[in-house]
Amino acid sequence: MNQVDKSEIIKINKSLKIRTIILYTCIGIAFVSMFVDISMTRNIFRHIGELMLVSLFAFGYAIYNDYAIKRLNKQKKEILNGK
């Protein structure tokens, strides 16, 4: 493994850490907004539109981030295995 591969792995590891933090933050925001929505309306079937949108967008972004993490892990394995 040469110096370029090491620097690429370091970049991938940093990106994985950042994306993991963002992933858990998005999930937390989604759950908090759903909890606030349900506690304000006191009904599961009636929602405040803005909070519901925040929750859906946060979950959507978390799903996208999860896919990106899997892609980065695959790229890291390819570099470690010699492309």
pLDDT value of position 1: 63
Phi, psi of 41 (to 5 degrees): -90, -20
Total number of domains constituting the chain: 1
pTM: predicted TM-score of the whole model, two decimal places: 0.81
pLDDT value of position 13: 94
d(Cα 77, Cα 23) in Å, to the nearest integer?
A: 21
Range of the domain at 51: 3-80
d(Cα 36, Cα 32) in Å, to the nearest integer?
A: 6
d(Cα 30, Cα 81) in Å, to the nearest integer?
A: 37
Section 6-10 average pLDDT: 90
The 10s digit of each residue's pLDDT in 42-83 is 887 888 888 889 999 999 999 999 999 999 999 999 988 876
Query: Which band of pLDDT confidence, cut at 50, 70 and 90, is reported for residue 5?
Result: confident
pLDDT value of position 46: 82
Is-contact 19 69, C-beta < 8 A?
A: yes
d(Cα 16, Cα 5) in Å, to the nearest integer?
A: 16
